[in-house]
Amino acid sequence: MPSIHRSMAPALSFNGGFVDTIGFLALQGLFTAHVTGNFVTLGVSIVHGTSGALAKLLALPLFALVVGLSHLAAVSINRRGLTPLRPLLILHTLLLVLFAGLAIWLGPFNDGDSATALLTGMTGVAAMAIQNAISRQHLKGAPPTTLMTGNVTQGAIDVFTLIGERDAQQRLAIRQRFKPIALNLGGFTAGCLGAALLYLGIGLWCLALPVLVAVWTCVRTFGSSDSLS
């Protein structure tokens, strides 16, 4: 795995956990990154009569649309002899800036289906959709940065395999595979906890932190020979 991916993937995992947590806390249970989780919270909204059902219904098709458009943009950039990672990261960062700005300006959101909440929430979903596309297609060899279930599954398999594995080369290979998984899990967990604590302390202004992290990922691609794999 290129060196830039080893540092960028945990940073994006931090943002994945952070933005998803803030979306859930501030937008009536909306998951901006783990969009399939919105089906669960949609059921809760229906049973308890809380707001946010429309946002949860819109999140999945919008997410899929933005992922598809990100893929088409990457293909187009490749055809021009360029590499898509940096422009996609920049677009992702700009959407996070817009998401943070809208949240700070228009929030708090007591009605998850209001026009302001929908605009803010769908901007966050679009930003996380691009991050998912980047993670899936452009961070070769890096574990997912938002969907942690697969990472936990593989990590558990690796840990229990190490218990019974005696071959030195196999143990080394397992450890090498497990390290980036552990870093992403740690980054995501730190993002979730950090978001909750900062939201309690400074409210939606805490979204400045994932913006800064996203800016760092963009800067990180400049001057790196393996940045655009």
Structure-model confidence comparison of residues 48 and 8, the more confident one: 8
Burial class (CB in 10 A: 0-12, 13-18, 19+), 31: buried
Residue 225: band (very low, low, confident or very high) from pLDDT cuts 50, 70, 90: very low
CA R_g for the chain = 18
Residue 226's CB is within 10 A of a number of other CB atoms, namely 12
Q: Where do the DSSP E strands lie in 58-207?
A: none
**CA 158 to mean position of chain CA atoms:** 24
Query: Where does the pLDDT of residue 4 fall: very low under 50, low under 70, confident under 90, or very high at 90 and above?
Result: low
**In Å, what is the CA distance from 77 to each residue of 74, 81, 95, 128?**
5, 7, 19, 20
> How is residue 31 written in tokens?
């998951």
pLDDT tens-digit series, residues 85-112: 999 999 999 999 999 999 999 988 988 8
